[in-house]
Amino acid sequence: MYLINLEYLLWVAPAMVLGLIAQAWVRSAYASAQRMPAPLSGAAAARHILDSAGLVNVDVQAVRGHLSDHYDPRHKVLRLSHQVYNSRSLAAVGIAAHEAGHAIQDAREYAPLVIRNVAVPAAGFGSQIGMLLMLLGLFFSTFLLWVGIALFSCVVFFQVVNLPVEFNASRRAKAQLAELGIVDRRGMPYVNNVLSAAALTYVAATLEAILILLYFLSAAQRRND
C-alpha cells in the first residue's frame, strides 16, 4: 500500500506542483487587481457586455461563496460571487467579463462548449465511480481496473475539451473590456494577469487528470504482463 501511494504521488507530483504555483499566482494576481479601481462593478460590467452582445435575456445574479462565479447554460444565468458582483475593481470586471464570455459562447453555439456541456454528466460519474473502481481494481480485479480506467477517461476528455473553452472565454472577455472601454491600456495588464493565472489552474487540473489516467494504465499494463 505504501509503495503504491508513493508511486502514485511521483506520477502526479508535476501536476500538484503546477497546481500550487497556479493557486499562488491566482491569489497574488487577484489581490493586486482588486486594489485597482474600475469604472463599473463586476455586475454592471457583465450586464454591459451581455447587452452589447444582444444577450438581454441572460440574467446576472449574486451568489454566495468565494470566487464561485459561473455561467449556468441551462437557466441562462450568470452568477457572480458577492465580492465580484459588487466590487468596482479590475479583478471584478475581469472575472465578470470571463463569465460573460461563456454566455456569449453559449449563444453562438461555440463547439467546444457544446461538447463540454454534453460531457458533464459522464465526467461527473467517471470522476467518482471511475476513481473508486480503479482503486479497487488495483487490489481485487483487473476487470474493475479497466472499467474504472474507461470511466475516468471521460474526466480526461472533459478536462481537455474544457481548456479551449476557458481560453476562448478569456480572449472574448479581454476583447469586450477593451472594445467597450471598460478597461483602458493601463488596466489591461492586471486583467491579463488574473485571467492567465486562472487559466493555469485549468491546465494543472487537466495535467493531473492525464497523469492519474496514465498511472492506472501503467498499473493495468503491468497486471497484463
CA distance from start to end of the chain: 20
Blockwise average pLDDT, block size 10, the chain, 225 residues: 67 94 95 94 95 94 89 93 94 96 95 92 87 86 90 94 96 93 94 95 96 92 74
Q: Which of these, 9, 16, 18, 17, lies nearest to 199 by C-alpha position? A: 18
Q: How much is the pLDDT for 1? A: 40
28 contacts 196 by C-beta, under 8 angstroms: no
* Domain of residue 159, residue span: 2-224
Chain centroid to CA 94: how far? 15
What are the backbone angles phi and psi of residue 84, rounded to the nearest 5°? -90, -40
Q: How many domains does the chain have?
A: 1
Is 99 annotated in the active site?
yes
**One of 7, 99, 166, 179 is an active-site residue; which one?**
99
Q: Would the pTM count as exceeding 0.85?
A: yes
